Amino acid sequence: MAKQAAKKTATWIILGLLLFGLAGFGATSFGGNITSLGRVGDQEVSTTAYARELNSQIRAFEAQTGQPLSFPQAQAFGLDRTVLSRLISTKSLDNEAASLGISVGDARIADEIMAIPQFQGTAGNFDRQAYSFALERNGLTETEFETDLRQQLSRTLLQSGVVSAIPEPEGYGTTLATFLAETRNFLWVALTEDDLQSPVADPTDAQLQAYYDANTDRFMSPETREITFARLTPEMIMDEVSVDEDALRALYDERIDEYVRPERRLVERLVFRDADQAEAARARLADEDLDFDALVRERGLHLADIDLGDVSEADLGEAGAAVFATATGDVTDPQPSEFGPALYRVNAVLRAQETTFEEARGTLREELAAERARRIIDQDAEGMTDLIAGGASIEDLAERTALELGTISYTEDTTSGFAAYAAFREAADAAAPGDFPEILSLEDGGVFALRIDEIRAPAPIPFAQARDDVADAWRRAEVKDRLMGRAETLADEVEAAGDFTAEMPVPTAETGLDRRAFVGDTPPAFMTEVFDMAEGEARRIETPTGAIVVLVTAITPADPEAAAVAEEAARIAAEAQSAITQDIFDVFTRSVQTRTDVRIDQAAVNAVNATFQ
Q: Domain for residue 406, yes or no?
A: yes
Q: Using CA atoms, how far apart are residues 360 and 354, in angstroms rounded to an integer? A: 10
Residues 286-322 have pLDDT tens digits of: 988 889 999 999 888 889 889 999 899 999 999 999 9
The total domain count for the chain is: 4
- Residue 13: predicted pLDDT: 45
Q: Give yes or no: residues 477 and 550 share one domain.
A: yes
Find the Cα–Cα–Cα–Cα dihedral 61, 62, 64, 67, rounded to 10°. Answer: 130
Residues 93-103 have pLDDT tens digits of: 989 888 989 88
CA nearest neighbour of 191 among 473, 510, 489, 536: 489
Q: Domain for residue 500, yes or no?
A: yes
Whether 31 has a pLDDT exceeding 70, the answer reads no
- Residue 18: predicted pLDDT: 38
- Residue 342: predicted pLDDT: 94
Q: Domain for residue 368, yes or no?
A: no
Residues 451-497 have pLDDT tens digits of: 999 999 999 999 999 999 999 999 999 999 999 999 999 999 999 99
pLDDT bucket at 29, cuts 50 / 70 / 90: very low
- Residue 11: predicted pLDDT: 42
pLDDT bucket at 33, cuts 50 / 70 / 90: low
Q: Give yes or no: residues 13 and 129 share one domain.
A: yes
Q: Which of 32-46, 474-488, 512-526 has the lowest mean pLDDT?
A: 32-46
Residue percentage of the chain with pLDDT more than 70: 95
Q: Averaged over 339-349, what is the pLDDT?
A: 93
CA nearest neighbour of 268 among 332, 350, 353, 340: 332
Determine which helix (DSSP H) or strand (DSSP E) holds 43, and give its type and residue range: strand 43-46
Residues 216-275 have pLDDT tens digits of: 999 999 999 999 999 999 989 888 888 888 888 888 888 887 888 888 999 999 999 899
Find the Cα–Cα–Cα–Cα dihedral 448, 451, 454, 460, rounded to 10°. Answer: 20
Q: Which of 156-170, 274-288, 368-382, 404-418 has the lowest mean pLDDT?
A: 156-170
Q: Which of 399, 427, 457 is the last residue of a domain?
A: 457
Whether 179 has a pLDDT exceeding 60, the answer reads yes
Q: Give yes or no: residues 25 and 144 share one domain.
A: yes
Q: Give yes or no: residues 38 and 126 share one domain.
A: yes
Give yes or no for a contact between 344 and 326, defined as CB atoms under 8 angstroms apart.
yes
Instruction: Sheet with 440-441: list strands edge to edge.
Output: 404-410, 224-232, 447-456, 440-441
Q: Give yes or no: residues 339 and 282 share one domain.
A: yes
- Average pLDDT in the chain: 88
Give yes or no for a contact between 166 and 580, defined as CB atoms under 8 angstroms apart.
yes
Q: Give yes or no: residues 22 and 148 share one domain.
A: yes
Q: Which of 428, 457, 486 is the last residue of a domain?
A: 457
- Here the CATH number for the domain that contains residue 19 is 1.10.4030
- Residue 123: predicted pLDDT: 73
Q: Give yes or no: residues 306 and 278 share one domain.
A: yes
Could you tell me the pTM of the whole model?
0.54
Q: Which domain holds residue 384?
A: 224-234+374-457
Residues 386-421 have pLDDT tens digits of: 999 999 999 999 999 999 999 999 999 999 999 999
Whether 26 has a pLDDT exceeding 70, the answer reads no
Q: Give yes or no: residues 63 and 82 share one domain.
A: yes
CA geometry: angle 170, 175, 177, nearest 5 deg: 95
Q: Give yes or no: residues 429 and 503 share one domain.
A: no
Q: Give yes or no: residues 124 and 152 share one domain.
A: yes
- Residue 81: predicted pLDDT: 93
Q: Domain for residue 574, yes or no?
A: no
How far does Cα 575 stand from its chain's mean position?
Answer: 24
Pairing of strands 264-271, 342-350: antiparallel
- Residue 158: predicted pLDDT: 86
DSSP state, 591? H
Write down the H helix ranges in 314-421: 320-324, 357-389, 394-400
Q: Which of 7-11, 114-118, 400-404 has the lowest mean pLDDT?
A: 7-11
Pairing of strands 440-441, 447-456: antiparallel
Q: Give yes or no: residues 452 and 539 share one domain.
A: no
Q: Which of 410, 439, 457 is the last residue of a domain?
A: 457
- Here the CATH number for the domain that contains residue 343 is 3.10.50.40
Q: Give yes or no: residues 29 and 160 share one domain.
A: yes
Q: Domain for residue 296, yes or no?
A: yes
DSSP state, 243? -
Q: Domain for residue 453, yes or no?
A: yes
